A and B are shown apart, each in its own frame.
Chain A
Amino acid sequence: MIAGNQPDAIRPWPVHAVASSEEEIAEAKPGAPRPPWALVKSGFAGANTQLRLACLLWAINLVFALVVAIPFFHLLDESLSRSLIGQRSLRFPDANWLIGLLNSQRSFLDSLSATLVWIALFYMVLNALVSAGVLEILAGGSRFSFRQFFQGIVRHGGPFLRLFIISLVAYFLVFLLFHDLLEKGLNALSRDWYSEAGAFSLYWAKNILLAVILLGTVMIFDYAKIRVVLENSPRAVLETAKAFRFVRHHLRPTLLVFYGLGLAGAILTLAYLGLDALFAPTSLGLVILGFLVQQLYMFSRMWLRVAFYVAEMELYRERGH
């Protein structure tokens, strides 16, 4: 058994967590948990030192997306490139072209949809494995290496796949309770309401509740993964239960860290939408520029995903024992 693989071995502080101001140093002392905002910052700093990790995630994402995007390009090329309707579709899709395409290529689009569903499933499974590698690297605190990455997959892949299956059951239950059954109840409740605004608020309150609970579930499984890696435990069910207990006992900091980073994601998306609204890609240069902006945005989302893991892992390290 190699040294790093001892059960219950608590790993050293990752290098990127070195605080930059005196204030933070004061708060960063082991045993004195830092406030959530400091953890969020620390997550960003950690993600900055792991840009290659974000690059890897982005590349995997791009390759999977290309599998469906390339046939789509051929479809559009076939129907647009020789037709004058193409020029008329640069700013908005020409309604006749779009509708005609949907109608004449229905079976192609249906099989593209089906392909997309399979690819998404495969991507999710793969992602479960990839996060094992990612968390292994973050737990080790060292720079990215493929060796360590694959070591993580080998070491924690099994429990991570089990966690994935458990999480699917959990999401199913959440949907069943807070989407399906709740909506049936609301339908019955609001059936005779005259007020459209009232019914609207009711359904949106339900949607927000559903989103909050879904995100909470996501967060619990993040901590379950972190526990599997840090505690080097193969027991997925047990770690899920412990993660749930951890979140329940540290509800405020876990939520603040999670939603703090979520807010960063929302700001990022708004920034992208603002950029996107600035220009319509009506020339080759602008199409390329648009593509670069989109890929930069995707990369930033991957970077943010790493920041989530870093911040949550540090939170767990500070309070999880």
Chain B
Amino acid sequence: MTARMFFISVALAWLWMGNPVHTFGGQRPTLMPLEHPKIITRYRIEVTLDPHTKQLKGRERLVWLNDSDDIVRELQFHLYLNAFKNVDTTYMSEARQNGRGFGRGINAFDFEHWGYIDVESMRIADGEDLTDRMEFIQPDDGNPYDQTVMRVTLPEPVPPHGEIALDIAFTAQLPRVFARTGFHKDFFLVAQWFPKIGVYEEAGERGRAQSGWNCHQFHANSEFYADYGIYDVFITVPSNYIVGATGGLPRQKRDNGDGTTTVEFYQEDVHDFAWTASPRFIRVQRHFVAKDQVSDEDIAEMMRVLGLPRDQIELGDVTVILLIQPEHEDQIDRYFRAIFTAIKYFGLWYGRYPYRTLTVVDPPRGARGAGGMEYPTFITAGTNWWAPKRILSPEGVTIHEFGHQYWYGLVANNEFEEAWLDEGFNSYSTGRILEKVYGPNHYYEWFWGVPIPGRRWLEIRLPRFPFVGWGPVPLGSYLQYIPFLDWQRRWSRYIANARLDPLRRAAWEYLNADSYRTNSYDKPTLLLRTLENYLGEALMARVMRTYHRRYRFRHPTTQDFIDTVNDVTGLDLDWYFDQVLSTANTLDYAVTEVSSEPVPAEQGVYDRNGRRVVLEPNNQPEGERLYRSRITVRRLGTVAFPVRVDILFEDGERIREHWDGRDRWRTFTYTKPTRVVSAEVFSGTLNPGAANYPILLDVDFANNSRRREPDRLPALRWSSKFLFWVQNLLHQLSMFG
């Protein structure tokens, strides 16, 4: 470290940022709640979009703080756009192997429009040229074709807690929208677009053994990780373009007099920056006014549940900007209702949304790969022009992507390594809101642009017409909407893929995309809901609030969450997390026996009151008929969990039994003048009086209950429908006979 470099960088920081409100110090983060993150990176980027060549020309000044006690001799950068440079990049080859990447799979990639980024020059601000010191590295897989990570060896190291300022010039060629970023005609969604510095972590930070850069390659199944910073971005586009970006409301707008306009966006306390531009957006701006959206009862309820004072519950106002396709204009209100609902409940549950704006982008037809993605204060959703109300089409994705402001944006785990901490926590939260506010969704399948109610249940793999390749041909679906709750949809993927991988592993190390999704979205939702049912809603709410408060503006790990759970509940729940996070074992409890037999009449030789009596079966008193009922519950899966058994008798009596679920089976027997009707297993609960909930991680719900006497009516009802359906199919086909 030279004193000169340190001086320059600190001076630059002052010049650019005005009065920084953030303190730079050497202390390790404590677990006191933070109002603002520690600012590690400061970007000032000027970028010009050429709508014809789909190129970005950028000049970036980056000030990076070495927030460690180490001497840092090299820097590492993400060059994400290079993932789309050729078919041999790590991203593209993984997408091909998986059969799918983000969005619609590799077949959706436009092989005529590759994407890449060239760093034309890099120099220390007013100092040495580093361009010749740049080299590509592949820390994850050694793939020589992958250029998504770049290393720059510094002529002089950055000292502990020192800063370095760099001037970088780059040209980025956008791909046609495939995965998140790119163009489609005159629509641009510009994300992962600039040379972005990795995260330098000290030994011990997030449990790592040695200090070093955390800068993973771009994988088909992974998202991102970055330090908090400040972004000041000047975007130049044709003057007729409407621009939206992280930061929301432009700080200034300048007509350049050459048909272009430059718009400045500025946002503090975030770890990424994305933007969009298109001349075709309808821009709608509305305000989330907290006092109108959140009632006193809502606040009182949360104060009671969380045990927090009013000022920690109350929400702030947010300006929401919706950039929507003209064809979706009739869904503007649906979008805003979803956004406001999300701002309200995420705010009440986890803490107020700390930014002043939120921008929501609705991508056009042909650019769906850009939809359903989160960036700080900026999300992309998506819908169809034909969106029946009972299909929660813009709502689900909008609430989910907003939720990432909390799980990813504010609690910024490493998405490469522990995707479940953002996607899983967010899916859990999204599902709760959807169920609370919207009720069930409905199954449907798209059929040439029409959502047909139902879900495929018979299909056959036949040669694809006209006999090129093989494909599933739907033979039948229920032609009726089947209501389902969000967790049920997740459960359907979970049971299919639960055994593929343990949940705890890096995103690109799962067997395939289905396993990644199941372990990042579905299983976490179910395991958190299972935990919630066990702990009770209020205690779970305190767990989640505490976790969010502790790690807002920080980078927590799975262990941090487990520690928080144990801390808040006062329990040791490691037995649960060990089973569901570190193994691919499954949970399945089943009621395997429900029977009632008349207690046999006394028969034989008995010694009574010192006398010997011989009893015959036919000299018993009448009206004393007793039954012995047996209910057996078995643990068919490997995972053990406390269960409650709910037993119903013919006289209406209900008995609740509790079992720790550890043995392989447990039998309950009763001798009563009445017979058992049925028995059902539910989740055990901390509070024995709590309602019955299924154990959502159970992979088979049909065997969770059993009747003593079978009831064939449901089977008759659905098989007669099936018969009718086959009759129609045959008759229809015979038309061609």
Which residues of chain A have a CB within 8 Å of any CB of chain B?
Answer: 61-62, 64-66, 68-69, 72-73, 76-77, 79-87, 89-90, 92-104, 109-110, 112-114, 116-117, 119-120, 123-125, 127-128, 131, 164, 167-168, 171-172, 175-176, 179-180, 191-197, 199-200, 203-204, 207, 218, 281, 283-284, 287, 290-291, 294-295, 297-298, 301-302, 305
Distance from B317 Cβ to chain A, minimum over Cβ atoms (Å): 34
Contact A172 B701 (CB under 8 A): no
- Could you list 8 examples of A-B contacts with CB < 8 Å? A73-B722, A76-B719, A81-B712, A83-B702, A95-B484, A96-B488, A116-B729, A297-B724
Please tell me if B211 contacts chain A, counting CB pairs below 8 Å. no
- Say yes or no: B716 contacts A73, CB within 8 Å: yes
Q: Given that A81-B715, A92-B482, A92-B483 are known contacts, is A196 also in contact with B466, CB under 8 Å in the complex? A: no
Point out the residues of chain B lying under 8 angstroms from A73, CB to CB.
715-716, 719, 722
Contacts of B718 in A (CB 8 A): 76, 80, 89, 93
Q: Which residues of A contact B484 (CB under 8 A)?
A: 95
Besides A124-B734, A195-B327, A295-B724, 19 other A-B contacts (C-beta < 8 A): A65-B726, A83-B707, A84-B705, A95-B482, A95-B483, A96-B702, A100-B702, A104-B700, A116-B460, A117-B462, A167-B736, A168-B736, A196-B365, A203-B449, A204-B448, A207-B448, A284-B716, A294-B727, A305-B731
Whether A98 and B457, one on each chain, are in contact in the complex, defined by CB atoms closer than 8 angstroms, is yes
Q: Is the CB of A90 within 8 A of B714?
A: yes
Contact A218 B736 (CB under 8 A): yes
A222's nearest neighbour on chain B, judged by CB, is B735
Check A83 against B715 for contact (C-beta < 8 Å).
Answer: no
> Across the interface, do A180 and B715 meet the contact criterion of CB distance under 8 Å?
no
Given A83-B705, A103-B492, are A119 and B475 neighbors across the interface (CB < 8 Å)? no
CB distance from B442 to the nearest CB of A (A): 10
* Contact of A194 (CB < 8 Å), options: B185, B492, B703, B717: B185
Q: Please tell me if the beta carbons of B495 and A100 are within 8 angstroms of each other in the complex.
A: yes
- Given A113-B475, A127-B734, A194-B365, verify A90-B705 contact (CB < 8 Å): no
Please indicate the chain B residues that have their CB under 8 angstroms from the CB of A95 in the complex: 443, 482-485, 488-489, 492
A-B pairs under 8 A by CB, number:
221
Chain A: CB-nearest residue to B720: A291
Q: Is B57 an interface residue (CB 8 A)?
A: no
8 closest Cβ pairs, A-B complex: A84-B705, A86-B714, A73-B719, A69-B723, A76-B715, A95-B484, A127-B737, A81-B710
**A65-B730, A82-B706, A99-B495 are known contacts. Are A109 and B458 too (CB-CB below 8 A)?**
yes
A89-B714 in contact given A80-B702, A97-B701, A204-B448 (Cβ < 8 Å) = yes
Within 8 A of A (CB), among B369-428: 384-386
Contacts of A86 in B (CB 8 A): 711, 713-715
Among B364, B366, B384, B704, chain A packs the most CB atoms within 10 A around the CB of B366
In this complex, the interface size class of chain B, counting residues with CB under 8 Å from chain A, is 35 or more
Q: Are B717 and A99 in contact (CB under 8 A)?
A: no
| Alpha-carbon distance between A80 and B713 when the two chains are bound, in angstroms | 9
Name the distance in Å between B733's Cβ and chain A's nearest Cβ.
5
Q: Please, which residues of chain B bring their CB within 8 A of the CB of A114?
A: 460
Contact present for B458 and A112 (CB under 8 Å)? yes
Q: Does B627 contact A (CB under 8 A)?
A: no
B256 at the interface (CB under 8 A from A): no
> Is B672 an interface residue when CB atoms closer than 8 A count as contact?
no
B478 within 8 A of A: yes
CA separation between A194 and B450, bound complex, in Å? Answer: 17
Contact status of A68 and B483, CB under 8 A, knowing A73-B715, A301-B731: no
Q: Find out whether the CB atom of A123 lies under 8 angstroms from the CB atom of B734.
A: yes
Contacts of A79 in B (CB 8 A): 702
Contact B713 A96 (CB under 8 A): no
* Residue of A83, A284, A294 touching B703 (CB-CB under 8 A): A83
Residue of A nearest to B328 (CB): A196
User: Considering only CB atoms, which chain A residue lies closest to B443 in the complex?
Assistant: A95
In the complex, are the beta carbons of B713 and A90 less than 8 A apart?
yes
Query: How far does the Cβ of B595 sit from chain A's closest Cβ, in whole Å?
Result: 12
Kindly state the separation between the CA atoms of A89 and B484 in the bound complex, as whole angstroms. 12
- Indicate if B480 sits at the interface (CB-CB under 8 A): yes
Contact with A along B522-557 (1 / 0, CB 8 A): 000000000000000000000000000000000000
For A102, list chain B residues within 8 Å (CB).
457
Q: Is the CB of A87 within 8 A of B711?
A: yes
Minimum CB–CB distance for B361 against chain A, Å: 15
A89 → B minimal CB distance (Å): 5
Q: For A69, list chain B residues within 8 Å (CB).
A: 719, 722-723, 726
Bound-complex Cα distance A171 to B466 (A): 12
Which A residues touch B723, using CB under 8 A? Answer: 65-66, 69, 72, 294
Does B232 make an interface contact (CB < 8 A)?
A: no
Minimal Cβ-Cβ distance residue in B for A96: B701
| Interfacial chain A residues near B325, Cβ < 8 Å | 194
Q: Which of A96, A97, A113, A283 contacts B458 (CB 8 A)?
A: A113
**A62 touching B729, Cβ below 8 Å:** no
Provide the residues of chain B in CB contact with A284, threshold 8 Å.
713, 716
Chain B contacts for A302, CB-based, 8 A? 731
Contacts of A127 in B (CB 8 A): 734, 737
Complex contact A97–B702 (CB within 8 A): yes
A141 to chain B, nearest CB (A): 24
Would B496 and A290 count as touching, CB distance under 8 A?
Answer: no
Closest residue on chain A to residue B708 by CB atoms: A82
Bound-state CA distance A98–B712 (Å) is: 17
Q: Provide the bound-state CA to CA distance between A117 and B459, in Å.
A: 10
Measured between beta carbons, the chain B residues less than 8 angstroms from A65 are 723, 726-727, 730
B238 to chain A, nearest CB (A): 17
Q: Is B432 an interface residue (CB 8 A)?
A: no
A120 contacts which chain B residues (CB < 8 A)? 729-730, 733
Q: Most chain-A CB neighbours within 10 Å: which of B364, B717, B733?
A: B717
User: Which residues of chain B come closer than 8 Å to A196, judged between CB atoms?
Assistant: 327, 365, 384-386, 449
Say if the beta carbon of B575 comes within 8 Å of chain A. Answer: no
Task: Tell me, rounded to whole Å, the shortest Cβ–Cβ distance linking A277 to chain B.
Answer: 10
Separation in Å of the B203 CB from the closest CB of chain A?
45
Query: B634 near A: Cβ within 8 Å?
Result: no
Query: Chain B residues near A89 (CB, 8 Å)?
Result: 714, 718
Query: Which residues in B have their C-beta under 8 angstroms from that of A76?
Result: 714-715, 718-719
Closest to A277 in B: B480
| Interface: B678 (CB within 8 A) | yes
> What is the minimal beta-carbon distance from A159 to any residue of chain B, in angstroms?
14
Is the pair A200, B730 in contact by a Cβ cutoff of 8 Å?
no
CA distance A164 to B735 in the complex (A): 11
Task: Give every chain A residue within 8 A of B703 (Cβ-Cβ).
Answer: 83
